[in-house]
Amino acid sequence: DTAVSQTPKYLVTQMGNDKSIKCEQNLGHDTMYWYKQDSKKFLKIMFSYNNKELIINETVPNRFSPKSPDKAHLNLHINSLELGDSAVYFCASSQVGRSGNTIYFGEGSWLTVV
């Protein structure tokens, strides 16, 4: 069973289009995230949902909007795609526990904007 799954894995689309990436976790975690990884391998936090509270990274353009229908799902919708949006987007989840917590990643979604 895949703990954190995201779809699609590969997405090629034209500038100006709107696209969504879906994410689901079956770990029962309270917190889910979206990270963007650029060509230099930097994993940058975009959003997190923690106990239904959305935490927004102020550097993320408002063309990006997360949607969480329930605790197990956190989807990412992107409007008016730009060339600079090309990157790998990772969904992740974690849970604070007595022994601390660990963040688990999905397999990534490779987005290419042409």
Partner 1 sequence: QKEVEQNSGPLSVPEGAIASLNCTYSDRGSQSFFWYRQYSGKSPELIMFIYSNGDKEDGRFTAQLNKASQYVSLLIRDSQPSDSATYLCAVNIIDTGNQFYFGTGTSLTVIP
101 lies in the site for partner 1, by CB under 8 A:
yes
Retrieve residue 32's tokens: 């889910």
1 lies in the site for partner 1, by CB under 8 A:
no
Q: Is the CB of residue 109 less than 8 Å from the CB of residue 8?
A: yes
- In whole angstroms, the minimum distance from the beta carbon of 18 to partner 1 comes to 25
Contact pattern from residue 28 through residue 47 relative to partner 1, giving x for each residue in contact according to CB under 8 A and a dash for the rest: --xx-x-x----xxxxxx--
Taking the C-alpha atoms of residue 13 and residue 1, their distance in angstroms, rounded to an integer, is 30
Angle of CA points 6, 92, 63, to nearest 5°: 75
Which residue from 53, 62, 70, 83 is in contact with partner 1, where contact means CB under 8 A?
A: 53
Pick left, alpha or beta for residue 40 (phi over 0 → left; psi -120 to 50 → alpha; otherwise beta).
alpha
Query: Which residues make up the interface to partner 1 (CB under 8 A)?
Result: 30-31, 33, 35, 40-45, 48, 50, 53, 55, 57, 59, 90, 92, 94, 96, 100-108
